[in-house]
Structure 1
Amino acid sequence: MVRNAPPPEFEATPRPVVAIGNDYPANYAILPHRHRRSQLLYGSNGVLLVRTEQGRWVVPPERAVWIPGGITHDVQPIGAVSMRSVYVEADAVPGLPAECRVVGVSPLMRSLLIEAVDLPVEYDLDGRDGLVMALILQEIARMPVLPLNLPLPGHAALAARCRRFLEGPTPHDTIDDWCGALGMSRRAFTRLFRQETGLSLSAWRQQACLFAALPRLAAGEGVTTVALDLGYDSAAAFTTMFKRLLGAPPSRYFAAGEGGTSGPSP
């Protein structure tokens, strides 16, 4: 049984996939780190914020995030959280994702992840335990990708402006406000922003506001309060945006089963 243990102890385990379970209290910051193996990180409760140099990912309850091996990342749980992770060798199965992504977790995969952390570290590859782990590997490639990533520019000044927005969203800022802050023409800014992020400024800001909203909604704050804080004219307007991007209104999205302390890495 592998629970509440750091993954470096198991990096060299002679198995293609290893499962670890960790429970963390509220306000527990998981410092920047990386793993040799790729990681599928699942939180059965709470919200996880995952950051790399390339972007941000927000992981609501009952979803997971895939982090390829070798990518430096940190994790900020919002509230107490129970994490279940599997660490996968690069050649364990063909077709493993090459980039970070938030994914949906099916009832089957959820049950497999819960079961996996109670298996022996060096489980029997040819017995029932090996079949559980083999099925996990097959299911990883089938997990649906969710639109919960926020790309960050590589351009230093633009990235700094984006990070300031993430720290305190100001959705009523115009594109001219951003151009002025960066000393760029509208045409040059528009071209650079799309080149660096793959999105228009409007689409990126909307996604950033969604990122700001999800942890607050998961913590139980009212939709109206969050919507008005983020600059929406009404809860209905915010709910329309939320449903368009995530497929369900906030009340359904966080329903069970849908779709400052520092510490070591999970």
Structure 2
Amino acid sequence: MKLLFSLIVFSVFSLSWGKPLPILKGTGVELAPLDTSRESVFFNLNISYKNAPAVLDAKKSLDLTDINTQGGNLDIRNSSGTPLNPRSIYITLDSYNRKEESGTFNLGVSLETPLPPKTRWIHIKGEVPLMCSHLFSLPAEDLALKEGESCDILLSFPPFLRDDGDIAKMESMQRVTLTATHKKEKGKWTIILSHPEDFPYTCMEFFDEKNRPIPVQTDKSFYFFSAGTVSRPITCTFPEDYGHVRVKVLYEQKREVRLMPIDLTAGLGGIHESKMPPMKK
């Protein structure tokens, strides 16, 4: 019989940014159900925050050594006090609003071993180091949402532009290319984003013909390298069908590490107590 956990915030959860560390409480959290019948246990926390730069993707999965090296610490125990060692920790950007300086990110944890049979809850405590950055935008470009349509955005700044004379050689300038490749269903497209390997791509913003923001859900599960170029097939789910959209490609500048204090309990059977509200739908 499968034993299903509902991960619920049970105690204080807060974000601290910079030193001296001002405390910024998380504005919401969503926790996925945990199936303990699997050989390895994975759970994911989708965390919202505000008044802070964007939380970026970690370049790789982390382990406890990485956490400690970057100035953090993490302790996970079950209801009997038995330590539960994380095999991998994943940090990924989910969304970010530059105007409001608010966003969401995913914190995923994979444990090395199954939970002991009599586990009633899991307690997670420590400080998780996060890579953060303010985001900047390339010029907006129109993209027709038709099979095979594409647009180019020239990278007219260092290190991609060596000197002003390069501007006259537009055909040889480095660029970001967006291509609409496949409409899966109503409002859902695969858009391939290609860019030089050293371009610090983060995410995209979409706007309609009246320059109003479009809330688009994106899924960037994998990417490819070829001859110095990165190609990212990104599934974009629009709230309705659009003939074309304006796209801004965002990139990071000057990464910095900030610590996220975390102290929460994942319990059985629903919410026992919560000092941070669930994520608003």
User: Is the pair's TM-score, using the shorter chain for normalization, greater than 0.5?
Assistant: no
Structure number with greater CO (CA < 8 Å, separation at least 6) is 2
Query: Hey, which of these two has a bigger chunk of strand by percent?
Result: 2
Q: TM-score, normalised by structure 2?
A: 0.27
Query: Hey, which of these two has a bigger chunk of helix by percent?
Result: 1
Which entry has the higher C-alpha Rg, 1 or 2?
Answer: 2
